[in-house]
Chains A and B, each alone.
Chain A
Amino acid sequence: MEKENKVLPYLMMLPSILLMSLVVIYPIIMGVITSFQQQESGGYGFENYRYFFENDYHTTGIWYTLKIVVITVVAAIAISYLLAIFLRFSNTPISRLMGKLYILPRFIPALVAVNGMITVIRDSGLINRISQVFGYNLHLNMMYDEKGIILMNLWFNIPFATMMISAALSAINDSEVEAMRDVSASKTMIFTNLILPLTYRDVFVAATFIFMSNISSFTTPYLMGATYPKMMGVTLFDLYNNFHYGRAAALSVIMFLFSSVAASIYIYINMRKDKWEVGR
């Protein structure tokens, strides 16, 4: 057997590490430094951070962002899990059609999808017009509100989460399910004792990805959100455009910290091995 070259793998990784350092790691370090820099005096301190936590306008915005993101994650995962199970274990024309259709939103550009959603759900939108045909004047009250943002987030994230969970479910053999049925296990038992242990890891991975991509979202809340409170991504845009670079950097770091919490859950879940998995 040829001796394993210990240096070669590192050499092969070198170009991507160099590139990462240049376009990701270096800007992160610079961002953190800028966040401690005071714009007026040029000195260093926590002033930019204090600004966000001593100002009701911004604390409300941060809580508002977290609320929307948490609701998005929980709802997207719940719906996607059910959808993925349905697609995996049902074999009807409807499930086959849905299996092809659910992926469609991923091919529609974000801006187009947001504008499309707006024309449907706004108070003078398609749904309102249809209701007028039947003599009602239905106002969904979803535009410029967190409900609209969450609906739009679900549109973007359900296909993604369903795809990830479906991949995990496809690893379960029909024979394993049949084996449990043979010993007269109920559907709940099949779920808790077979499906859940085999898929929970992918569910968490999907959840962390949804969390991280939504905490910094911009287009949806900018076009569909209320004037106040604002999601963090929109506030960041405003701060940057008005030359408050130190504060913008501090808010970026705050967003980064929230994402890091999600990322550490991701890493923990991935590293951890269940008892039955040891040696697998």
Chain B
Amino acid sequence: MTKLAKKLIAVGLLGGLMITTFTGCSSSSSSDSKTVTIWAQGSDNTKMQLEAQAERFNEIQDEYEAKVEFIITGTGTQGVNERVLAAYKAGQTDTMYDLIEIDDGKISGLLAQDAEDLFLEIDKSQLSNHINCRYEPSDSAEYMVPYRGTTVLLAYNSNTVPNPPSTMDELYQWIKDNPGRFAYNPPNSGGAGASFVVATVYNQMEESALTSSDESNKQYWDAGFEILADLHPYMYQSSGKVVYPNKNQGTMDILASREIDMTPVWADMFISQQGLGTMPSEMKVTQIDPPLTGNLVGFSIPSIGSNSEGALAFINYMLSAEAQNIALESMAALPVIDFGLLDPEAIKSIETLDVKEFRNSSLGTLQTELYDKWDMDIAPLN
């Protein structure tokens, strides 16, 4: 019996040891006051950009050590926002989520998950470089500092479409005149298709609605959805059925393989892929009137992080002319500070893109409802 008791104690100790090792991992690594862990998700170009920024940030100052944790989308893992929310809901208070990159449209949706104090309010007077920032998020501005803009453009094959449409109505007409040659991805699967849907629905409404999460705006959605339903039979087809390929990359792939002639794309993805040669050189981009929408991308500081000073220092760095130049050069990000402060050579790469007019959409919680409505109303059409 004593032998058995000894064994029980040994196993009990082992179990206890395992548990302390597990919990030990998470707390010891986040208690280092110097490290600022920056979390982001998206495509590879964003990863390269942020890693370059962190490296430069670490070179120019000694107080903090920036580290980037990146999640490539579409690999089946959960996104950064959901992870932070989960950690918050689990009652964690001292995590490595010091700073996260986030779209301005996403914040109010997260806060609405019964998580009002998920993010720290950011005192912008503490950021010496913020004075140059030209954009403010229309929604939840106190929780986020934008550092780049991204916008959706219309990509087209210049061989088959010598004169691309210049207005949204011309685009609709072109789609009907050329059945099967246009595609957009389902709004839930990526922002390029989402922008086409948002622009179509909100072009039929007051412009101010585009930056509002007012529930009463939903009653005006029907006109836009009628247009989308009307366009449905003229979309790209495979196996005799209309298909909306998943992900931003899904439609870019069929444009590159010339299965379609036109599709909405993210400006930065298009430029990166043309640079890599995976997007043929005869493909061009243009903006139409009224423009396809874009997003402000910036940083928020989760309240459960462990280095808010370091996080603020990194945000401030990201608003410097140097960081804005790096973002512009590495991923053709639209700068948020005055173009006059930037490298005139680098500016040229986005001038040809015709993205001077930046149309920000920020629907808050309505965004999810709009995408769900598309899934229910448009996807099942035959």
Asked if B241 lies at the interface with its beta carbon under 8 angstroms from chain A, I say yes
CB under 8 Å from chain B, chain A span 178-202? none
Check B76–A7 contact: CB distance below 8 A.
no
Which residues of A are found within 8 Å of B82, using beta-carbon distances?
240-241
Binds A, one of B11-19, B196-204, B269-277: B11-19
Q: Smallest CB-CB separation from B245: which chain A residue?
A: A144
| Structural contact, B7 and A11, CB atoms closer than 8 A | yes
In the bound complex, CA of A108 to CA of B254 (Å) = 25
Cβ of B368 and Cβ of A242 under 8 Å apart? yes
Verify B76–A57 contact, CB threshold 8 A. no
Q: Is the CB of A142 within 8 A of B239?
A: yes
The answer, yes or no, to whether B8 is at the interface (CB within 8 Å) is yes
Give B232-251 as 1s and 0s: 1 = Cβ < 8 Å from A's Cβ atoms: 00000011111111110010
A15 touches B75 (CB 8 A): no
Contact B8 A238 (CB under 8 A): no
B54 smallest CB distance to A (angstroms): 27
**Contact assessment for A227 and B379 in the assembled complex, using a CB-CB cutoff below 8 Å:** yes
Q: Which residues of B contact A218 (CB under 8 A)?
A: 76
Q: Indicate if the CB atoms of A11 and B238 lie closer than 8 Å.
A: no
Are A124 and B259 neighbours in the complex by a CB distance under 8 Å?
yes
Is the pair A145, B241 in contact by a Cβ cutoff of 8 Å?
Answer: yes
Whose C-beta in chain A lies nearest to the C-beta of B4? A7
Bound-state CA distance A225–B243 (Å) is 9
Stretch at the interface among B92-100, B332-340, B369-377: B369-377
**Closest chain A residue, CB of each to CB of B365:** A243
Residues of B within 8 A of A225 (CB): 246
Q: Considering the chains assembled together, what is the distance between the CA atoms of A212 and B15 in angstroms?
A: 32
Q: Are B257 and A124 in contact (CB under 8 A)?
A: yes
Instruction: Give the size of the chain B interface in residues (CB under 8 angstroms).
Output: 39
Partner of B244, one of A111, A227, A240: A227
In whole angstroms, what is the CA distance A229 to B375 when docked? Answer: 10
CB contact under 8 A between A242 and B372, given known A11-B8, A14-B15:
yes
**Given known contacts A123-B259, A124-B258, A238-B188, A145 and B109 CB-to-CB distance under 8 angstroms:** no
Known A57-B376, A123-B238; judge A243-B368 contact (CB<8 A): yes
Complexed CA–CA distance, A122 and B356 (Å) = 37
- Decide yes or no whether B352 CB sits under 8 A from chain A: no
Number of A-B contacts (CB under 8 A): 79
B162 at the interface (CB under 8 A from A): no
Number of interface residues of A (CB under 8 A): 34
| B186 interfacial contact with A, CB 8 Å | yes
Query: A15-B14, A219-B76 in contact; A238/B240 too (CB < 8 A)?
Result: no
A-chain residues with CB within 8 Å of residue B368 when the two chains form the complex = 242-243
Supposing A15-B14, A15-B15, A241-B188 touch, asked if A226 and B243 sit within 8 A by C-beta, the answer is: yes
Q: Which residue of the partner chain A has the closest CB to B236?
A: A144
Q: A266: CB under 8 A from chain B?
A: no
Q: Does B380 contact A (CB under 8 A)?
A: yes
Contact between B7 and A7 (Cβ–Cβ < 8 Å)?
Answer: yes
CA distance A231 to B90 in the complex (A): 30
Flag if B79 contacts A241 (CB, 8 Å): yes
The reply to whether A238 and B375 contact each other, CB–CB distance below 8 Å, is: yes
| Interface positions of A from 92 to 141, Cβ below 8 Å from B | 111, 122-125, 141
Binary CB contact string for chain A from 213 to 242 against chain B (1 if under 8 A, 0 otherwise): 000001100110111110000000010111
Contact A242/B371 with A11-B7, A111-B75, A145-B239 known, Cβ cut-off 8 Å = yes
Q: Which of B35-60 contact A (CB under 8 A)?
A: none
Contacts of B18 in A (CB 8 A): 15, 18
Whether a CB of chain B sits under 8 angstroms from the CB of A88 is no
Q: Would A227 and B243 be within 8 Å (CB), given that A111-B75, A243-B113 are in contact?
A: yes
CB-defined contacts of A228 to chain B, threshold 8 Å: 379-380
Chain B residues within CB distance 8 Å of chain A: 4, 7-8, 11, 14-15, 18, 74-76, 78-79, 82, 109, 113, 186, 188, 238-247, 250, 254, 257-259, 368, 371-372, 375-376, 379-380
What are the 8 tightest A-B residue pairs by CB atom distance, in nearest-first order?
A: A141-B239, A144-B243, A228-B379, A124-B257, A145-B239, A227-B244, A144-B238, A242-B368
Knowing that A15-B11, A144-B241, A145-B241 are A-B contacts, what are 8 other residue pairs whose CB atoms are under 8 Å apart, sorted by A's residue number? A14-B11, A14-B15, A60-B380, A123-B238, A144-B245, A225-B246, A229-B380, A243-B109
30 residue pairs of the A-B complex, CB under 8 angstroms, read A11-B11, A14-B11, A15-B11, A18-B15, A57-B380, A60-B380, A122-B254, A123-B238, A124-B257, A124-B258, A124-B259, A141-B238, A142-B239, A143-B243, A144-B238, A144-B245, A147-B239, A218-B76, A219-B76, A222-B246, A223-B250, A227-B244, A227-B379, A238-B375, A240-B78, A240-B82, A242-B368, A242-B372, A243-B113, A243-B368
